[in-house]
Structure 1
Amino acid sequence: MKDTSHFNNELSGKIALVTGGTRGTGKAIAERLLRAGATVIVTARNEPEENKEELYFIAADLSRPEGTQKVLNEVFRNYGRLDILINNLGGSETPGGGFAVLTDADWESTIHTNLLAPVRLDRGFLPRMLEQGSGVIIHIASIQARLPLYDSTLPYAAAKAGLVNYSKSLSNEVAPKGVRVLTVSPGWIMTGSSIRMMERIAESSGTTVEEAKQSVMDGLGGIPMGRPAQPAEVAELVGFLVSPGAGYLTGTEYVIDGGTIPTVG
């Protein structure tokens, strides 16, 4: 059993929501907050990979305004407030081929999922946080905001860049009123979907999974740490940032990429 004594129930009494919290990095974040004593709500379009009774699940499509409203209504009806909001939902389903193959629908769906979904949730939960004079909002962005891969994720990179800028601006507005806003920008994370992607690449190219993984790292310009991040490593950073020990941190972007971005700033 993993030793959790160092968490000391530091989030006891806190209500937290993790979007996209049923698998991958979102699932790891939800479980990390749960171990720290928080009451944790997760939301996603699909049911969790495994049902955890301790996690309250809300089925919702946050790329649509009515999905956001459903989550807001259910959280306030059942809990009355929210202390921690982790805007983790994100992803790219656009085709490869650069700008010329992308339609308006590709751009709009990506921006709705990666930028407007967190904007809507913030707008819904912030007034209550401001009333209580406390709260933490974490936006999960991506190093693609600085290191875009134009061939296959151009709208995703643009949306995440917008999220980083919005997050900084929002923090300046609400920090004087007791609410902290921070951004976490991961590099490549070895989630279940990443593993499946490596298997598909290996099968189509006639290589091994290890060789497929190396080809992806080479495409990023290399990862000095020599491997992708594990979801739990990103979750550990988020767990610290929402804790009382990070009480003076706001308005900052934290990059967790194993050294992938080759420049300063």
Structure 2
Amino acid sequence: MFRTLAPADRTEFAGKRAIVTGGSRGIGAAVVQRLLDGGANVVATARTATDETPKSATFIAGDISTLAGAQEFASAALAELGGADIVINNAGAARTHLGGITSIPDEEWLDALALNFMSAVRVTNALLPALHEAGAGSAIVNISSMTALTPTPPMAHYGAAKAALNAYSKALAFELAPAGIRVTTVSPGNVLTPGADAIRQDFADAAGVPLAEITANIPLGRPGDPRDIAEAVAFLASDRAQWVSGVNLSIDGGELPVV
């Protein structure tokens, strides 16, 4: 069970302008709330808001899986905030195809790339002038997945898109370092979110095992809570991580195999 943490420092992100994609539920909503708790002004987006979407954030509905949608959202977010200091690219989704790689339709490969990879590229490109204007200390955190590091055939399209995000993030970190803009990546493992729960249920049904068995072997003894990821994102976006860039932080309760 997730242990309650001490209250966040309300001055940590005071005056900071943060933009979070995929911020309506799950990890995205937790990140939005953590940045708000730290004193940031936050704009979030997703196709629709949910009961999980933090009410203190400004929510802008949109579809950032297209170039026009990503640019439209970025413009609206900048108009709302007057600039940007922190960008969290969290938008993502996937469907399992238990028939394996050849059962994944061509259009789903393209959809996976559009939402899980190209949305981050497009939103970031649209926001880079504002980040350069904000100057050194600005931060981009891209939310990837352990599936990029340990891909499985039923989710090969999702893993490939997130692997592309990892490579892009590393290159972007190198390019933006002279401007003092840091770029990092977070790769969550088995976290309890609506989307991930549905995927785990598919695997459990296919294996004929209880859902709990899918996460039974996590070394730290429990699946992740969205707040576990949000805390890491908050650190990477803050000045506490001022000498951290180009890294991919795995947050998975110790589940990633180590040789």
Structure 1 and Structure 2 fold alike (TM over 0.5): yes
Q: What is the aligned counterpart of 2:17 among 15, 18, 39?
A: 15
2:147 matched to 1:144? Answer: yes
Give the TM-score, by structure 1 length.
Answer: 0.88
Query: Paired residue for 2:215, among 217, 223, 226?
Result: 217
Distance 2:41 2:190 in 1: 29
Deviates more, 1:184-193 or 1:106-115: 184-193
State the secondary structure of the residue aligned to 2:115: helix
Equivalent residue for 1:77, pick from 67, 73, 79: 79
- Does the C-alpha gap of structure 1 residues 200 and 130 become closer, same or farther in structure 2, counting only changes over 3 Å? closer
**Structure 2: how far apart are the matches of 1:198 and 1:98?**
16
The letter for the 2-side match of 1:237 is: A
Number of the residue aligned with 1:242:
237
Question: Identity of paired residues, percent?
Answer: 38
**Alpha-carbon deviation of 1:164?**
0.6
- How far apart are the structure 2 equivalents of 1:94 and 1:30? 27
- Correspondence list, 1:122-141, <5 A: 122-134=124-136, 135-141=138-144
Shift of 1:80: 2.0
Q: The residue matched to 1:153 in structure 2 has which SS?
A: helix
* Cα distance, 1:199 vs structure 2: 6.7
Q: What is the distance in 1 between the residues matched to 2:30 and 2:194?
A: 12
In the TM superposition, residue 75 of structure 1 has moved relative to its aligned partner by 1.5
CA–CA separation in structure 1 for the residues paired with 2:201 and 2:146: 24
Residue in 2 that maps onto 1:39 = 41
Instruction: Say whether 1:59 aligns with 2:61.
Output: yes
2:253 to 216, 239, 258: 258
User: Separation in 1 of the partners of 2:11 and 2:34?
Assistant: 11
Secondary structure, aligned partner of 2:63 = coil
Query: Residues 20 and 44 of structure 2 are in contact (CA less than 8 Å); yes or no, is this contact kept in structure 1?
Result: yes
Tell me, which stretches of 5 or more residues in structure 2 are unaligned? none
Residue identity in the other structure for 1:130? H
What is the CA–CA distance in structure 2 between the aligned matches of 1:155 and 1:200, rounded to whole Å?
16
Cα 1:47/1:258, change in 2 over 3 Å: same
CA distance in structure 1 between the aligned counterparts of 2:192 and 2:181, rounded to whole angstroms: 31
Q: Find 1:98's aligned residue among 95, 100, 109.
A: 100
Query: How many residue pairs get matched?
Result: 255
State the distance in 2 between where 1:50 and 1:228 align: 19
CA RMSD of superposed structures (Å) = 2.2
Distance in 1 (CA, whole Å) between partners of 2:7 and 2:93 is 34
Offset from partner CA, 1:133-163 (integer Å, 9 cap, x none): 231000000111110011x211100111111
Q: Does 2:114 align with 1:112?
A: yes
Aligned residue identity for 1:59 = A
Matches within 5 A, 1:148-163: 148-150=151-153, 152-163=154-165
Deviations 1:48-106 (A, max 9, x none): 32564411000011111121122111112222211110001112125321121122201
Normalising to structure 2: TM-score of the pair? 0.90
Of 219, 226, 229, the residue aligned with 1:231 is 226
Gaps of 5+ in 1: none
